[in-house]
Chains A and B, each alone.
Chain A
């Protein structure tokens, strides 16, 4: 694959990220100096003025580099990716969060790994040496580790970080995998990588650090755990 001819479409779903979207765009441009890329912002009708900020960024960086493709309201992550994919002109697609828990400084390592190995998917993992998490207390780490061990034992997924959403896909691979996924939320991220693994796609991992920006919010209530277990059983039965 001729590296010079690759274009990377970075899909960033947003909801109320007026400040973070500007920061993340700056950091992406800073770390991808000699790369052909475009940023596709899929905003779900944010009331805080996110889209106005994006338009300002467009005048700064160019409308061919930053695409604003909004939707009228919150319609879910999976459909946000599908919507972004429709407008992606690159042969590679990166998905990442807008809240700076995923740092653009890792983008070059994703690209390099893919070029070195010819992988169909490069997945960022927080759980290996060189990666890591900041901002999680002991309970949070325990549930994360427990959930991971359970998923590894039941599913044999072939990746170390199942719920991560910082990934690089070959565009055709993403289109193929996403069409067969039906889950919501983080189970969706798990379903994507497990289905890709089952289909035999070449998946590589790179370490990433994850700084949790959602301070104090309890994402791990009883209902979250039930949802997770239901998701595991669903994946066990259907993949």
Chain B
């Protein structure tokens, strides 16, 4: 099993050429040409004269794109276009630091400046608006390179913030039509996108498999298993768990499996199916494979306070708390909701807590830093999808439009609202509570993860930064973390 190299060689930006590794040919309009020629007097900036190398700050963002060129050469050698471009990449003498293909660098600078203008309070909102208008002019969420499409979503995210700020300040008559119709995707699109995502990336399965393996290991001798699922969505995690339980070769008979899914008012809107539908499907599936099964719902109020006392418990069952926070169409649940669930679960004395979440910002501090970190994160996600499926541009565009775009808008919004306060990860939250103890990820679990990643592109890797945690990464960027915990009452 090849493990991707963690450390990338230093990449001189001057070798980097953007190719038509995009869904459609990105047209170069006069605006793309940074050699503006405004009536002859406005000069071309002599960037070479400035003492620092232009991409110094943003090297990371382009590292993974660079490597992807190499991958393409290997995997798709019959594609002339790719060959030509990669040859060009390797043999072209270094061009001056900013050739015409420096658009992506400009986009990053503009995004950062826009984030900065949003962060410093009211007086810079005019500047933010001007920058965002310019960005809107330069990019489209449907066309262009990864960076360009990504920029379009981040621009929308910032525009969303701006509108929110201006709207609340009473700047009369403004309204912003979100071109992505963030909340109104056609159900078929969402279904298709979800399946595509699972095919193209280990993102969804990584969390599920890690959690399931831990569950199986911990319920070896249990006769009854009760899983309380924070957000069951379509329930695909449990289909594979049931299969794994049924197919245990040796050992005790299959335990009775009970799943209680939390349900919330009005949540059917965004997920593909309602909790009831999921329940019905799982029940049918269990019956078809002979897995003893029962399904329950725990209805939450609109404030999403988890009341463990409302659960039906059975003597002698092993309680598993399952908290998957990484699913792409997962609504950003408020921190209070998650906290309420995890806190409430303590009174149930669970045998195992499984937690999967997006790797949080690797930087502390203000909005701009965290915004750029989110940009790095999704840049890695986009690259990971493209690396595996460079020719399936429309599929990727669908996934981006349905899932990633709205997630970007949500993440940026969340970080903006939390500015100043930090949001550590839920793993940290659990760690700080003495009742929860980290539980070791087994060797088998780690191996399984690697096997899973082996089905996808080389760039993925699985790390074990702590004994109870597996992290899915793309190149140098951590994407997801799955951790497992035991609970015992203290005192």
Q: Do A and B bind each other?
A: no
